Structure 1
Amino acid sequence: MQTAPAIRVADLCFSWSDQGKLVLDHCSLVVPKGEFWMLLGTNGSGKSTLLRLLSGLAVPQSGMLEAGQPVGFVFQNPDHQLVMPTVGADVAFGLVSEKLSLSETRLRVEEALQAVNLVHLERRPIYALSGGQKQRVAIAGALARHCEVLLLDEPTALLDPDSQRDLVEQVRRLVKTRGLTALWVTHRLNELEFADGAFLLEQGQVVDQGDPLRLRERLA
Structure 2
Amino acid sequence: MKNPLIELNNISFQYYGQEHKALNDVSLTINKGEWVALIGHNGSGKSTLAKTINGLISPESGEIKVNGELLTEENIWDIRKMVGMVFQNPDNQFVGSTVEDDVAFGLENQGVPRDEMIVRVNNALERVRMSDFKIKEPARLSGGQKQRVAIAGVIALAPDVIILDEATSMLDPQGRQDVIETIRALKEETNLTVISITHDIDEAAYANRVLVMKQGEIIHEGTPEEIFSHGEALIGMGLDIPFPEKLKASLRKKGIDVPNEYLTREGLVEWLWTYGLRK
Q: 1:76-155 counterparts in 2 under 5 A? A: 76-155=88-167
Please say which of residues 93-102 and 105-114 is displaced more in the overlay: 93-102
Q: What code does the residue aligned with 1:57 have?
A: L
Q: What code does the residue aligned with 1:166 have?
A: D
Q: Structure 1 runs of 4+ off > 3 angstroms?
A: none
> C-alpha displacement at 1:20, in angstroms?
4.6
Q: 1:1-220 counterparts in 2 under 5 A? A: 2-17=1-16, 20-68=19-67, 69=79, 70-218=82-230, 219=234, 220=241
Q: How many residues align?
A: 219
SS of corresponding position for 2:178 = helix
Any idea what the Cα deviations from partners look like across 1:14-69, whole Å, max 9, x if unmatched?
A: 01128752100011112111121110001110001111111211100011222344
Q: TM-score w.r.t. structure 2 length?
A: 0.75
SS of corresponding position for 1:84 = coil
Higher helix share: 2
SS of corresponding position for 1:25 = strand
Any idea what the Cα deviations from partners look like across 1:59-89, whole Å, max 9, x if unmatched?
A: 0001122234421010001111111111100
Q: Is the 8 A contact 2:50 2:163 kept in 1?
A: yes
Q: What code does the residue aligned with 1:87 have?
A: V
Q: Is the 8 A contact 1:172 1:195 kept in 2?
A: no
SS of corresponding position for 1:207 = strand
Higher relative contact order (Cα pairs below 8 Å, separated by 6+ residues):
1
In structure 2, distance between residues paired with 1:100 and 1:195:
33
Correspondence for 2:259? none
Please say which of residues 18-27 and 48-57 is displaced more in the overlay: 18-27
Q: Is the 8 A contact 1:28 1:205 kept in 2?
A: no
Any idea what the Cα deviations from partners look like across 1:103-153, whole Å, max 9, x if unmatched?
A: 111011011111111111111110011111111111111111111100111
Q: What code does the residue aligned with 1:42 have?
A: H
Identity percentage of aligned residues: 39
In structure 1, distance between residues paired with 2:200 and 2:2:
31
Q: Is the 8 A contact 1:6 1:33 kept in 2?
A: yes
> C-alpha displacement at 1:6, in angstroms?
2.0
Instruction: Evaluate the alpha carbon distance shift between residue 30 and residue 205 of structure 1 in structure 2; reply closer, same or farther with a 3 A threshold.
Output: same
Q: Is the 8 A contact 2:196 2:204 kept in 1?
A: no
In structure 1, distance between residues paired with 2:182 and 2:126:
12
In structure 1, distance between residues paired with 2:99 and 2:166:
22
Q: TM-score w.r.t. structure 1 length?
A: 0.94
Q: What code does the residue aligned with 2:5 have?
A: A
> C-alpha displacement at 1:197, in angstroms?
1.4
Q: Is the 8 A contact 1:192 1:216 kept in 2?
A: no
SS of corresponding position for 2:229 = helix
Task: State the Cα RMSD in Å.
Answer: 1.5
Q: Is the 8 A contact 1:11 1:64 kept in 2?
A: yes
Q: What code does the residue aligned with 2:24 have?
A: D
